[in-house]
Amino acid sequence: MGKESLYRAWLEAVQEHSFSKAEKLYHQIIELYPHCKEVNFPMGVWYKEKGLNEKALDALRRALITDPEIAAEIYYYLGNVSRNMGNLLEAIDYFEQSIKEDPNFFEAHYNLGKIYSMLKNSEKALKEYKKALNLNPGDVDTYVNIGVEFSNLGKSKEAIKMYEKALEFEPQSYLIYSNLGVEYTALGEYEKAIEFHKKALTLNTFYGDAWYNLACTYALANDVENSLKALERAIKLDEDNIEYAKKDPELDNVKHTEEYKRLI
């Protein structure tokens, strides 16, 4: 079978979503025609989606040779595969290469920010998230992630600004309201924090984290009764909250009670 015939057969298999057939033809193509364009990148992406990370890396690295005109996208996928494999430093290198090829690649900046966040490097994460936001000023997740990194740095006021901006785009997000509650608690503005926790729970009454955070805020405000009620709901929704409650100093004001001891 000639090069064109092999390629058409491979393309047909791809269009039919026949992975095994496409993979078999792919191996034939790269063995006989190693510099064949337009097969390595799609197979690399397909391998990634199948969780076949080593094969994905091989195909994508071949694509860098055969399809250099889309190098930014290839490096981006290499970064995602490396992250999936737990190779975070390698992922950073690939995302940086992607950005070098295309400085305006939103997803590369965003995912580089996520890697730095995973590595607990909030300063570098913020730098990449801000670049991503400049490229896509309406992306809610970027606002939220910037808020999270500000929170990690103890900058609650800055975090609040980001969460409020995110709410302009997604006003019914219980997660954002919950995060706002956490930041106002950190500032000692307990009434406002309780208001936001309750708003989150109005939108999703089954959100255990919001019940737990509400319990902590009530405890800090020395409202023991309501703190214990919220803590009971949090534990019913997620028993892992028992272990958190044992070590959480924000609950110190209720730990002397019989009800706390019963719950824990």
Note whether residue 70 is domain-resident.
no
**Dihedral over Cα of 181, 138, 70, 26: its sign:** positive
Q: Specify the pLDDT at position 132.
A: 98
258 and 239 Cβ atoms separated by less than 8 Å: no
Per the structure block, which two tokens stand in for 219? 């405890």
Number of structural domains, the chain? 1
Q: Specify the pLDDT at position 37.
A: 87
Note whether residue 67 is domain-resident.
no
163 and 180 Cβ atoms separated by less than 8 Å: yes
Note whether residue 263 is domain-resident.
yes
> What is the DSSP annotation of 45-114?
HHHHHTT-HHHHHHHHHHHHHH-GGGHHHHHHHHHHHHHHTT-HHHHHHHHHHHHHH-TT-HHHHHHHHH
Q: Specify the pLDDT at position 3.
A: 87
DSSP state of 257: S
Question: What range defines the domain where residue 244 resides?
Answer: 173-264
Cα distance between residue 117 and residue 122, in whole Å? 6
Note whether residue 222 is domain-resident.
yes
First vs last C-alpha separation in the chain: 70
Cα distance between residue 79 and residue 87, in whole Å? 9
Q: Which residues of the chain have pLDDT under 50?
A: none
Note whether residue 20 is domain-resident.
no
Q: Specify the pLDDT at position 1.
A: 67
Note whether residue 246 is domain-resident.
yes
Burial 46-77 (b: 16+ CB within 10 A, else e): bbbeeebbebbbbbbebbbebbeeebbbbbbb
Note whether residue 197 is domain-resident.
yes
Cα distance between residue 249 and residue 69, in whole Å? 55
Cα distance between residue 125 and residue 144, in whole Å? 12
Q: Specify the pLDDT at position 2.
A: 85
Note whether residue 213 is domain-resident.
yes
Cα distance between residue 223 and residue 225, in whole Å? 6
Residue 180: CATH number of its domain: 1.25.40.10
188 and 161 Cβ atoms separated by less than 8 Å: no
